């Protein structure tokens, strides 16, 4: 049994079945539940605060099934599966104290606990998973192979917990009615995590200890060095201009990963962490009598070149996203009651061609996703 997704007439094998170059089904199922309880004070004095508790649980099931017709394996599904279960708890509080009418101090802290469990199997042929060499049962029902209790061969289970305090303090100064300044220092944290695709190509064979070592979670991430500046200005009574410029120095302190890596992965940049980002937004609002309000908006978004996919084969096989600058605009006319509005939207006005995803497959091909080209749309809003 085989499938083809080329869109062209299939090549027929000697047994009458269609042959394919490469077919796959990738199945991801994510479920998240969150609960939060928050208390906010409303005191008449200079001090007010907010505090609360947070809970979240996540369930992630991942499987990819491939038919490698290009390698003569058109009837042997090659399957990689894993699942994750995560539970997070946190308590937090933050307060603001007005020192004077123009100066205030804000400070807050949070304590987070994260527990994660990962179950996974290296990429294996269906016959290896079931122990049945004659009846591969999955084909393109990928998530059938993640029933690890029914098919326990080669499955590794890992568990890890982290706990970390985070905090923030900010000094605010109202320089003038139209100028607000602040200085903030914060310590951020993101729990470590597991890679759902560890064990691709079955590189560890029967060495489940080596596989477990490679599947171990990353260490937690902490807020990287950086600077961000944000400005809001009213150059004219009907015009608001906002600008944000940020720089971050994101890097690995150390990187212990897949033992099959062929170079020091710590020498690569951090994934999806562009050094520079900037936005500039201008809005013009004008009352036009009985017709209502006319709003003109234009914005620019810049994102620096950044790494999207880290290869363990060579730096040359890393998948990067090029730097991009996008221009957008919209015109909105809303009636005097603000219950109806008509909006004309323009996106990617310079018709920039840019990638939103880049997955090189060394020696074979490259998967890439692209952002939408220039387009225009009309929206109508009606409030009841």
Is the predicted pLDDT of residue 382 greater than 70, yes or no?
Answer: yes
Q: Does domain 28-63+79-122+145-222 have CATH number 2.40.160?
A: yes
Tell me the per-residue pLDDT of 235-246, one tens digit each, with 9 for 90 and over. Answer: 888 999 999 999
Split at pLDDT 50, 70, 90, the class of 85 is very high
* Mean pLDDT, rounded, for 355-361: 89
On average, the pLDDT of the chain sits at 87
Q: Is the dihedral of CA 255, 261, 265, 268 positive or negative?
A: negative
Specify the pLDDT at position 265: 78
List Cα–Cα distances, 321 to 65, 206, 307, 324, 367, in angstroms: 27, 37, 6, 9, 12
Return the minimum-mean-pLDDT range out of 204-208, 251-255, 271-275. Answer: 251-255
Tell me the per-residue pLDDT of 167-192, one tens digit each, with 9 for 90 and over. Answer: 999 999 998 877 788 888 888 889 99
Specify the pLDDT at position 349: 97
Tell me the per-residue pLDDT of 28-46, one tens digit each, with 9 for 90 and over. Answer: 889 999 999 999 999 999 9
Is the predicted pLDDT of residue 139 greater than 70, yes or no?
Answer: no
Return the minimum-mean-pLDDT range out of 30-34, 143-147, 160-164. Answer: 143-147
Split at pLDDT 50, 70, 90, the class of 66 is confident
Specify the pLDDT at position 1: 33
Specify the pLDDT at position 330: 97
For 55, the token pair is: 């809970």
Is the predicted pLDDT of residue 134 greater than 80, yes or no?
Answer: no
Backbone φ, ψ for residue 62 (5° rounding): -135, 135
Residue position matching structure tokens 């009458």 = 16
Specify the pLDDT at position 350: 97
Specify the pLDDT at position 68: 76
Domain boundaries, the chain: 28-63+79-122+145-222, 224-384
Percentage of the chain modeled with pLDDT above 70: 90
Residue burial 18-27, b: 16+ Cβ < 10 Å; e: rest: bbbbbbbbeb
Return the minimum-mean-pLDDT range out of 53-62, 157-166, 203-212, 223-232. Answer: 223-232
Tell me the per-residue pLDDT of 278-297, one tens digit each, with 9 for 90 and over. Answer: 999 999 999 988 889 999 99
Return the minimum-mean-pLDDT range out of 68-72, 198-202, 350-354. Answer: 68-72
Split at pLDDT 50, 70, 90, the class of 140 is very low
Distance from C-alpha of 102 to C-alpha of 173, rounded to nearest angstrom: 6
Specify the pLDDT at position 7: 46
Write the DSSP assignment of 290-347 as a string of letters. Answer: GG-EEEEEEEEEEE--EEEE--SS-GGG-EEE--EEEEEEEEEEE-TTSSEEEEEEEE
pTM over 0.75: no
Residue position matching structure tokens 């090189």 = 360
Is the predicted pLDDT of residue 137 greater than 50, yes or no?
Answer: no
Specify the pLDDT at position 296: 97
For 175, the token pair is: 């320089």
């Amino acid at each position: 049994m085989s499938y083809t997704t080329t869109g062209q007439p299939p090549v027929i094998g000697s047994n009458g079945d269609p042959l394919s170059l490469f077919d796959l089904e990738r199945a991801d199922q994510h479920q998240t539940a969150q609960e939060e309880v928050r208390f906010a004070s409303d005191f008449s004095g200079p001090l007010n605060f907010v505090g609360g508790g947070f809970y979240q649980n996540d369930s992630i099931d991942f499987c990819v099934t491939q038919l490698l017709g290009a390698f003569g394996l058109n009837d042997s599904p090659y399957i990689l599966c894993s699942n994750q279960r995560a539970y997070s708890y946190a308590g937090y509080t933050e307060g603001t104290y007005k020192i004077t009418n123009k100066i205030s101090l804000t400070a807050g802290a949070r304590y987070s606990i994260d527990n994660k469990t990962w179950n996974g199997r290296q990429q294996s042929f269906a016959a290896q998973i079931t122990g049945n060499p004659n009846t591969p049962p999955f084909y393109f029902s990928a998530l059938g192979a993640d029933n690890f209790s029914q098919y326990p061969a080669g499955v590794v289970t890992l568990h890890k917990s982290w706990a970390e305090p985070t905090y923030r303090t900010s000094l605010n100064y109202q320089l003038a009615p139209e100028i607000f300044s602040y200085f903030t220092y914060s310590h951020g944290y993101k729990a470590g995590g597991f890679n759902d695709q560890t064990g691709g190509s079955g590189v560890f064979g029967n060495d489940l200890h080596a596989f477990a070592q490679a599947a171990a979670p990353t260490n937690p991430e902490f807020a990287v060095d950086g600077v961000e500046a944000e400005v809001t200005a009213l150059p004219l009574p009907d015009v608001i201009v906002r600008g944000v410029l940020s720089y971050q120095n994101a890097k690995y302190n150390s990187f212990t990963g897949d033992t099959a890596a062929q170079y020091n992965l710590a020498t690569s940049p951090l994934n999806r962490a562009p050094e520079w980002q900037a936005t500039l937004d201008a809005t013009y609002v004008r009352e036009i009598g009985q017709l209502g309000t006319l709003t003109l908006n234009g914005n620019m978004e810049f994102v620096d070149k950044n790494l999207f996919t880290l290869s363990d084969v060579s730096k040359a096989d890393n998948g990067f996203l090029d730097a991009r600058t996008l221009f957008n605009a919209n015109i909105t006319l809303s009636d005097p009651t603000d219950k109806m509005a008509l909006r004309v939207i323009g996106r990617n006005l310079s018709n920039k061609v840019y990638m939103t995803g880049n997955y090189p497959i060394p020696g074979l091909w490259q998967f890439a996703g692209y952002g939408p080209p220039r387009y225009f749309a009309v929206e109508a809003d009606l409030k009841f």
